[in-house]
Structure 1
């Protein structure tokens, strides 16, 4: 809010000192701001804006700072007002989100100084942003570009008028927001509340279950299948398990994993491991030779979880329940999709990344209209380490053999290909070491089995560097059968283009398993691969584009060539993705073959109630023809009831081979119940089924399992406990009242309220290395409380339950007047004096006097407080109070009696500039 102007000039503490001692010969410099990448906020420039969205009032007091014509506004608070799907991460100096009904991605990375929205990349200057422990502020001019909003700044009225180019979620719930109370600010800036749950020897596991029973045509005419996922703590690690059955209810797949993670790298002593896995795990890959393979064994890594080299092609894996589809988007471009799960998981292999920041979105669509989205930001560079820094990755597995194998199903496990099909023990170790700031050495050793029962040892040595702004890579590989390989690579950015070039030569039968898609019938000679990413500006529309080409050459003159291009863009409320893939194969002595295929997909979340997905596959070569059309429509009729319609139509045969799916889904607190009918016209098959998806979560407060919706078996859970902390010890006593109606936003769930006992059990927080939860007090009965930080930082793990105690201290306030007694006896209000309320335990609440010397301490926790001057300002200006009175805050929003403070200024030492200018001595 702008400071009101008095008819008399404001008298600041600094001005008073100058007037008393005379004008200084040289003005004193203000204290230097803290050294950060973004400027600190100046409290003196605080502005309170009224915010409206298309004539809907969202807030009467959005706190902004700086230039009234282009102020810095809090992105997190603005996102909450719009109910936009945006996560603000101040510790990481990063904003990540999904925008609009087309669900395009948003990324702001202040460390890198860039922002990306809908494929458009925008530089962020240092003065365009500011970071506090709980918020990130951006200038309105930047917010306009990133959120697709028209923002009118009426600085004379202190109003921000937003006009949406497409509907925001808040506009779908106008009735609720019309009665939303205005938020309040505590005036006490606090850091995020960080809560972690230590690993336990044994904890009750969380369970996610899918039970499916039905009748169908054919023999047998009945089916029953299940999919169970469970997780918890075991042996001070995180245990994750899986059991899946066939349609006769027999267990066919099982998975078992013990895993520990440490973002700080505090495991295995001097190795500083960040991840350790035992059970059904994966080996690491080497630049030449072995790739990542599944099996029962042990693995660990000391590498950061969100960084990789531009020359590494990553593998992405995750849970995929029956009937779910999953899509992978990289930098807004649809790269791949699948609905095939092996041992309950999906896998995207050999995924290339671009130099710089890569936004990876894994979008999972469920058969009942579910939509889950996991976003990971991977910083891809040259793979250079600091001088003297080392990273180690190790894995040993018995490939193709899970820990428990209840029944052979004749299918390969994740990561298996024909070239290394068969069992055997695989051991891989990789070491990277920083030689200098521009060079990192890499070495690898592996022992891998072969289909004939033999094994081969592989050795690699490489160098990563940076030359004239280009990331470079050089690797040598050899095996004990005499095979040899050499690989060269370069990567960089040229204006709007970012690209990676790799070339490898092979001799004497060296097998490079990382080259997926090559023909194992021929001996490999060389491989060349080029990846280019960019964004095209088509009459103002930004279209992200990805292109990839690779050529494999074999002994005897055979070769194959693959070229693919993909693009995605939002058109109105629809996200369109299209791609073309050309393939030419020449395997002597057979003649060459050519294939050119394409696809077009369209998705929308129209009105945030209609979820529509369509896909069309077609051929261009050797003949132009459409191959397949799929349409899926999900309609949310209410918060509890939705319906689904799906149609699949092959287009390369007669149009009588269609299949259709109809479902009715009821979402309850005890899980989702779906009734589904399926009919396949091609085989004249039909199936009627009932499916129940539910979770079993253990509530440690009640010491019992609760039946709920899915989530506790595959992600973390929170037991949130809000209460009125009368004695301020942070521990809930038997006589302390609960705090109902505290709202939580976490894990894609918004507005979950604590119950009459102040508690709520919230699940579905995912299993990533870190997570967050937002707390809102807008709906509580008594807003006169001081709360811990509204942003809660968590480290969720599958099946784990994190207890979050959230004490709310009753608060009150006090009005304070700071006066200077002049020589003529007049009392003058003193502005810009920094005051503090201090408790015996060290708590401090700050405030600054206004133009007339008055200030208000609001939302101060109950107790006895001492009023004093800010020690730094008092020392700098030689101020002191005639007395430091005690103030007793009673709570319930009541104000203590007003307090008037008298300020005195001590004389300056004789040798100071001020004293000399004033003639003092």
Structure 2
């Protein structure tokens, strides 16, 4: 059936409460709600009076309003009538909620369409009078016809009500009624459209949560400044002992200087006012637009780490410069990694990978930690560094590196170049190298991806030695990824007439277990009279993973085997086994090592181990460790116990005991730490059995400058090594997005950095300070609306994303406004002029740019509501698909405007007129894909001398088959159309008769 629709748009706005209350549909709604509460009260009273009564007695024929749900998805309410078995449900209301494209025509007593899938055709017809004496209703589903007793149906002015068990059989949906809570739960055999939509939505949500570390809000670039106020960490210390009085300080800072980031460290003591001084200037860009044609992403000047251009170890800090185009924040070497940084002196650091101890650095004196050339396993590498401060602080820093392919993709390349004076610092105050290793070092490394599974590298280093001969080295390497589960590496390095060495490694993963094999060969050209190892071979095998991962006692393990052999007969073998499990609040770690060395001079073998236990008992945290030796003799070497005991929320105590069984010596230390928000103060007393004692005091704080309030601030947390952000939250009274003098600030608002996992509350100045944000990790900055004291306030913008930098304080003004609301009712008016509420109608709200802002669906009484609307101009309209599907005249759009102070607009009603049709039959002369072809065909027919046509033709576009229908002769009755078609057929024209309706 083709339909021609036309007509003017209409809108009606009824803001009179009195008119609404006199509306019969509103009165019916109030009656229904009253009956529902009345029934609930009756049920409760009935249950109290007769405890054994298990069935709610609702009279047959009573009108019900049931809450419909499927898979915990609340759909809406559906009207029903109580039946003897359960209930009769409204067909139109149910189909709307299930989203089945079945059209119900109450006037024609016909429902037709499909459900679940297009091959499940549905057709229902029923008689005008529903009684036992009239003909039964008939339903055809997938070509199978059946009849339904008219007593199973109930015809009302608003819907056709059908027994629930019949609907259940038709659509394959189990129904579970609860007449106490007035609910209806659906249990479909095949997932419903609404279930599929929710599943798709959940899949998208899962995807988003999987990639929750990716910021999605508009990004604001952090630009370098000529000068920015510094972020500085300060530590002061002093101690007295039976050996005298000592004291010192250290300063660690970071800021923008000359459009670069400056990091500096200075330390001194009572003997040397400046014993160490370092400076590094850095500039980074994710756009690779630094240094002109070099397209670098980073360059550094000052005290830097040189580029490792070969197989050897990475060098330490030296003065010079370096530049590269490595992606910022990306690991460019999938074989090994460097983890280093600046820190205040006196800290202990432990490094773990996948929960297993790797290395430690104790009581750092130079304000820097360096874990260089840490091998990467195939698969997941979860690194965690635990920092133990001299004042009892415990901090952690983590980094994840996942290795399962080449670091470079096809045709991708990168490079790094450095020029350094080895063994010298920028200011020459602290020596960084060893005597005999000083000089100028120029090193560079170039890597090129050939395919996604093959890459190669070229390296060169030139050492201009201060003393001795200059040295040159060249390296060639290749990486290969095979079968998505095997990484191969081969490297060769040569120093002409001096040294050559090679490296081969293979890494793979089997289930939860990583396996790595490494072979290193080195040959040195030495005079014949020097008895040294001129050729060495070294083999390493590493196996690590997890056992019983799904049990209550998951076990992490790592086994290392090393074999070293030289041409002089020197052989060294070692096996290290480490096992860790963390369960029931206890961490247990045991490391057992066997070592054997055989040379021409001696032979040595030993077995040593270390056991570590960590457990918290209420508020007390304890750490116990025991060092032991099993060979050549079995004995304990050291026993240690550390206890952290919080006394108050600000005062903490630490007690450490060390006992050395071999020498029968002990050492004790008691520490007290006072934590304030702006500083921390620590004192400790140390005593041993030799009578040596010491008393020390440490004072630590950090400070910076607030650009918004023009005030200095202090904190006990480190600021220099990470980024910070200041956010001012204010009420944007004029909706211009800018803080203007006199606009109210918002105190107590929670500001969140989502990916950096930081949050802070705005203070009395409306300013929230996010500290300790991870460098180069882009994070979304948002407001938590639940933290507002005023529930009607909402953020005026979703937020922004930033990429924090060391020494940089990002500043943002975050506007909030008062939310506006829009509410109204949608009515449908029939040909008699009677209005009734329209349920489940989609109302759209768009802005000035025609962007869809929100949608709302009317309730069973036609009511719709939009909340949390921002200031601006909007247009509200009825969704066009509903108007087309229901064959209605559209209503005019409503022009709306909301202020920043918040508006509530009610009575924004729509009245939709039903389209009136003249129904009959037409003689169809054919369907055409093209309108031009239709007109050409009609011209030929009209010019035919034997033409018997006496009526004007018209055409209609049929949206169902996307064809143009050529029609003539509109008749009220089918017989008339058939007679005309027979006359045309006799004249040699093809035709057929089709039902048709004209819009009036």
Whether TM exceeds 0.5 here: the answer is yes
CA offsets, 1:714-734, max 9 Å, x none?
322222201111222221111
Q: Hey, what's the Cα distance between the residues in 2 that align with 1:463 and 1:406?
A: 41
- Tell me, in whole angstroms, the C-alpha distance in 2 between the residues paired with 1:375 and 1:662: 30
2:793 to 785, 789, 796: 785
Name the CA distance, whole Å, in 2 between partners of 1:919 and 1:726.
58
Q: Which residue number corresponds to residue 199 of structure 1?
A: 224
Whether 1:640 aligns to 2:650 is: yes
* Partner of residue 494, structure 2: 478
Check the 8 A contact 2:878/2:891 in 1, yes or no: no
Asked if the contact 1:881/1:901 (under 8 Å) is kept, the reply is no
Q: What's the CA shift string for 1:835-888, capped at 9, x where partnerless? A: 433333666521231553543222112344221356899899999841111234
Listed one character per residue, the Cα deviations across residues 735-760 of structure 1 (whole Å, up to 9, x for unaligned) are 21101001245699976321122113
The structure with the larger Rg is 2
Q: Distance in 1 between matches of 2:700 and 2:534?
A: 49
**1:177 corresponds to:** none
The match for 1:865 is 874
1:467 equivalenced with 2:479 (yes/no): no
Partner of 1:234: 257
**Secondary structure at 1:4 match in 2:** strand
- The residue number in structure 2 matching 1:350 is 373
CA distance in structure 1 between the aligned counterparts of 2:497 and 2:409, rounded to whole angstroms: 36
Could you tell me whether the CA contact under 8 Å between 2:822 and 2:905 is conserved in 1?
Answer: yes
Q: Determine the structure 2 residue equivalent to 1:381.
A: 404
| Residue number in structure 2 paired with 1:149 | none
Asked if the contact 1:867–1:885 (Cα under 8 Å) also holds between the matched residues in 2, the reply is yes
What does the per-residue CA deviation read over 1:446-482, in whole Å, with 9 as the maximum and x for residues that have no partner?
1236695323211112221123342112222222225
**Cα 1:885/1:279, change in 2 over 3 Å:** same
Match for residue 513 of structure 1? Answer: none
The alignment partner of 1:436 has SS state of: coil
1:816-831 aligned within 5 A? 816-821=824-829
Contact 1:306 1:379 in 2 (8 A): no
Aligned equivalent of 2:237: 212
Give yes or no for the alignment of 1:541 onto 2:553.
Answer: yes
Conservation of the 8 A alpha-carbon contact between 1:428 and 1:446: yes
Q: Do structure 1's residue 3 and structure 2's residue 75 form an aligned pair? A: yes
CA RMSD of aligned residues (A): 3.9
Answer yes or no: is the 8 Å Cα contact 1:596–1:620 preserved in 2.
yes
- Indicate the residue corresponding to 2:784 in structure 1: 776
Q: Retained in 2: the 8 A contact 1:585–1:593?
A: yes
Deviation by residue 1:811-840 (Cα, 9 ceiling, x = unmatched): 121224444445676656656655433333
Is 1:688 matched up with 2:705? no
Cα 1:468/1:761, change in 2 over 3 Å: closer
**Aligned residue number for residue 555 of structure 1:** 567
Are 1:436 and 2:436 matched, yes or no? no
| 1:153-552 correspondence runs (5 A) | 191-192=216-217, 194-218=219-243, 221-246=244-269, 248=271, 250-289=273-312, 291-305=314-328, 307-308=330-331, 312-341=335-364, 343-406=366-429, 413=432, 422-448=437-463, 453-469=468-484, 470-481=486-497, 483-509=499-525, 522-537=533-548, 540-552=552-564
Contact kept, 8 Å, 1:821 with 1:903, in 2: the verdict is yes
Residue deviations 1:206-226 (CA, integer Å, cap 9, x gap): 1110111232211xx211111
In structure 1, the residue matched to 2:594 is 582
Task: Give me the whole-angstrom Cα distance separating, in 1, the residues matched to 2:116 and 2:995.
Answer: 14
CA separation in 1, counterparts of 2:95 and 2:113?
A: 17
Q: In 2, Cα distance between the equivalents of 1:403 and 1:880?
A: 81
CA distance in 1, matches of 2:887, 2:257: 61
Q: Is the 8 A contact 1:819 1:827 kept in 2?
A: yes
Q: Which residue of 2 aligns with 1:33?
A: none
Q: Which has the higher mean CA deviation after the structures are superposed, 394-403 or 576-585?
A: 576-585
> Which residue number corresponds to residue 598 of structure 1?
609
- Asked whether the 8 Å contact 2:796–2:817 carries over to 1, the reply is no
Q: Secondary structure at the match of 2:554?
A: strand
CA distance in 1, matches of 2:466, 2:357: 35
Q: Relative CO higher for 1 or 2, CA cutoff 8 Å, sep ≥ 6?
A: 1
Q: Tell me, which stretches of 5 or more residues in structure 2 are unaligned?
A: 1-72, 80-89, 119-189, 918-955, 966-993
Change (3 A) 1:647 1:872: farther
Q: Which residue of structure 1 lines up, in the alignment, with residue 981 of structure 2?
A: none
* Secondary structure of the structure 2 residue equivalent to 1:5: strand
Match of 2:960 in 1: 912
Secondary structure of 2:652 counterpart: strand
Out of 683, 701, 705, the position equivalent to 1:698 is: 705
Residue 663 in structure 1 maps to residue 671 in structure 2: yes
Q: Which shows bigger deviation, 594-603 or 222-231?
A: 594-603
Q: CA deviation at 1:333?
A: 1.8
Secondary structure, counterpart of 1:130 in structure 2: helix
Task: Decide whether the 8 Å contact of 1:134 with 1:191 is kept in 2.
Answer: no
1:900 aligns with 2:909: yes
Whole-angstrom CA distance in 2 between matches of 1:555 and 1:875: 90
Cα deviation digits, residues 615-668 of structure 1 (max 9, x gap): 2222222222222222222233333222222222223321xx222222222222
Q: CA deviation at 1:232?
A: 0.2
Q: CA deviation at 1:135?
A: 5.1
